[in-house]
Structure 1
């Protein structure tokens, strides 16, 4: 059996790599599915107290499981079968449907008919280019939709209102229309990197009404920080784009962000005061850009602990570039500052520059090689 995608939460590693599933039983780590297993394991109550029998949750009859698929505990796994369409006869009580790594080209209107209990749908790595506008109408409990690595040119319409997590990276989406996320008040996480999306492709108000915690639009064609993103964001990842500068108004409304990913861009300038609007910032990725100096304002970020500045053009580091003047100002010491692969003579940097660092091993210097 090939690897099965992990239904992860939106807690992402520091480099915010694209979603990756690893093993079939990793699904047991998912809170939602754990809850469903608890419900299944509870014995029923009869008129005279607990019943003496426990429902049989083993393998369903073979005629209730699509040919070639594996069905167990309301999980239907139909991955890696060469399917060209969604199989029929999927058990009505299915909560997780895995259709990844097939050759499905289209999601039709009645493909998920009757699957009102579906909690997670995995259609990653197919050839889907078309999704019927009513295909998801019956999925009233769907919370996780993974439809990455397909041939979609637009975000599917009429997404379930119950949706919490959408992963649609590595498609061919060039536009986010205003109305596509309407009514998705439960949406918490959107991963849509790897799409040829430009700033002009994001219509004004496209994210209105969303209360996202996590948003990733990496490996796209953005030349600046998109406007009017949800102000509820805790994590914003815009790495691997073409952003050239960060201006004050770019980040002013995102006061709750604690992890900001801007690595692998063309950033030369970060306007003074641009970072001051994010007092909760704990992790800042600015590696692999074209910065000539350490961004201003870092000493004022009381909770900042990790700063990636490696692979830039920094030639000088001042004694107050990272740490505030005076004691008791910074609430959390740095536990990671990367400065390697910069043309800075590290032997000239004063030791006091890192007076608010937890340990000397947290400083990553290195010889600069042109």
Structure 2
């Protein structure tokens, strides 16, 4: 009877154990979030945040904590291989450790572009992936960059920090460790000088809208491959004559230099011969001395508008070495005559808003390649017959807002557009538009603007328009 009782007890115990085992096996595992990108990122964000805090306090303890976390993850049951691979976080080896597929909550990430602009942040957000190529942080309140924060960004090519509150001390040493950085925008900050620790890889630097008043040659020795340099709206010159001679000489590959709206009183000397575009608008320049380029320059575009240049300030050798110059802007200066000794390579010449009163016959005759000529807003009352005749490829001529009493004679036959509005024109000579051997053939003119003049339509000579394509070409009103 005892054996029977023991056997029954064992049987019940065995049955109970089997039921518990079955229940354990059939017990539903805890609900897991769907493996979607947002869910994974939220989990990774929490892990990264925890890891960063530990590492910041003590790198050794951080590694141990991370190892414990990794060991704990291995012991979890019923994890598929795919999910385990997705959620696995390797132990951090440096600070801070940011995952390639994580995006800081303050930013928006599009592939390898991280957009953190206009977010009101006061520092560079933690968590920007190390494989990022473009990081945009403009229009924030960033006043400093954490030391060595950017050193691990080995793929970073374009960094925008425009319109923040960065000062010289706040960025010291911040950029030298970025090995692939090509474009750096620091415009509209509070910088007083040029950073001296720029990366060797840099090709474009924008420092517009700061308070820079001086620069040294040493700053450029760090980035000799610079192609674009922009310094508009600063305080360069600051009462002195100009920049130190040859201060930009290390930049032997420089293509574009923008010095608009500074306080320069003369064109800088010893500029790199490689420069193709030079912008000096809105300075106090009254003199363009020879020696701006010590050798044949590659300069193609020169903007000297809104300065204080007079004819005496433009010397014979001012543009002597600019043999490739195609566009020259002298608008808004104090010129009383069309400058002499202009490069014959010119295609565009802007002389608007000066004090020019007359155009002599031979003044422009050497500019055989000129296509666009702006003479608006001067005091021109006299144009010698044939003054524009030699400009065979001239397409556009603007003489509006002057004091002309008649349409200039012998205008170029290749002209497409001529603007003569707001003058005192009373007559149109027969040889203004139609002259020479081709006077009976159709003119190339498609637009003649004569609005706001003193023309008496009843006294117009119809022969003056005989070569035009039709009266729709001429605009009187």
Q: Could you tell me the TM-score, scaled by structure 1's length? A: 0.76
- Kindly state the Cα deviation for residue 80 of structure 1 after the two structures are TM-superposed: 0.8
Aligned counterpart, 1:254:
367
Aligned counterpart, 1:336:
447
Please give the secondary structure, in 2, of the residue aligned with 1:131.
coil
- Kindly state the Cα deviation for residue 334 of structure 1 after the two structures are TM-superposed: 1.3
Aligned counterpart, 1:69:
161
- Kindly state the Cα deviation for residue 335 of structure 1 after the two structures are TM-superposed: 1.8
In 2: Cα distance, 1:88 partner to 1:359 partner: 64
Aligned counterpart, 1:266:
379
Please give the secondary structure, in 1, of the residue aligned with 2:317.
coil
Q: Where in structure 2 are the equivalents of 1:287-326 lying within 5 Å?
A: 287-298=400-411, 301-324=412-435
Q: Where in structure 2 are the equivalents of 1:152-301 lying within 5 Å?
A: 152-211=264-323, 212-298=325-411, 301=412
How many residues align? The count is: 309
Please give the secondary structure, in 1, of the residue aligned with 2:220.
coil
- Kindly state the Cα deviation for residue 182 of structure 1 after the two structures are TM-superposed: 3.0
Kindly tell me: are residues 59 and 282 of structure 1, through their superposed partners in 2, closer, same or farther at Cα, counting changes over 3 Å?
closer
Please give the secondary structure, in 2, of the residue aligned with 1:337.
strand
Query: Is 1:138 aligned with 2:226?
Result: no
Please give the secondary structure, in 1, of the residue aligned with 2:260.
coil
Q: Is the 8 A contact 1:68 1:81 kept in 2?
A: no
Please give the secondary structure, in 2, of the residue aligned with 1:274.
coil
In 2: Cα distance, 1:75 partner to 1:240 partner: 36
Q: Deviations over 1:97-127 (max 9, x none)?
A: 1111111111222222221111111111111
In 1: Cα distance, 2:188 partner to 2:347 partner: 36
In 2: Cα distance, 1:126 partner to 1:346 partner: 53
Q: Is the 8 A contact 1:308 1:339 kept in 2?
A: yes
- Kindly state the Cα deviation for residue 233 of structure 1 after the two structures are TM-superposed: 0.9
Aligned counterpart, 1:151:
263
Q: Could you tell me the TM-score, scaled by structure 2's length? A: 0.60
Please give the secondary structure, in 1, of the residue aligned with 2:312.
helix
> Larger C-alpha radius of gyration, 1 or 2?
2
Q: Deviations over 1:316-351 (max 9, x none)?
A: 224553234776866762122111110112355456
Q: What is the Cα-based RMSD across aligned positions, in Å?
A: 2.7
- Kindly state the Cα deviation for residue 273 of structure 1 after the two structures are TM-superposed: 2.3
Kindly tell me: are residues 326 and 68 of structure 1, through their superposed partners in 2, closer, same or farther at Cα, counting changes over 3 Å?
closer
Aligned counterpart, 1:89:
197
Structure 2's unaligned 5+ residue stretches are: 1-130, 136-148, 163-174
In 1: Cα distance, 2:465 partner to 2:181 partner: 54
Q: Is the 8 A contact 1:59 1:73 kept in 2?
A: no
Q: Is the 8 A contact 2:181 2:199 kept in 1?
A: no
Q: Is the 8 A contact 1:194 1:219 kept in 2?
A: yes
Q: Is the 8 A contact 2:181 2:201 kept in 1?
A: no
Q: Deviations over 1:267-312 (max 9, x none)?
A: 11111121122111111111111111010112xx221011011111
Aligned counterpart, 1:44:
none
In 1: Cα distance, 2:440 partner to 2:253 partner: 47
Aligned counterpart, 1:5:
none
Q: Deviations over 1:33-56 (max 9, x none)?
A: xxxxxxxxxxxxxxxxxxxxxxx6
- Kindly state the Cα deviation for residue 360 of structure 1 after the two structures are TM-superposed: 4.7
Q: Deviations over 1:197-240 (max 9, x none)?
A: 11011122221132211111110000001111111111111111
Structure 1's unaligned 5+ residue stretches are: 1-55
Q: Which has the higher contact order (CA 8 A, sep 6+)?
A: 1
Aligned counterpart, 2:209:
101
Kindly tell me: are residues 210 and 162 of structure 1, through their superposed partners in 2, closer, same or farther at Cα, counting changes over 3 Å?
same
Kindly tell me: are residues 115 and 347 of structure 1, through their superposed partners in 2, closer, same or farther at Cα, counting changes over 3 Å?
farther
In 1: Cα distance, 2:282 partner to 2:134 partner: 35
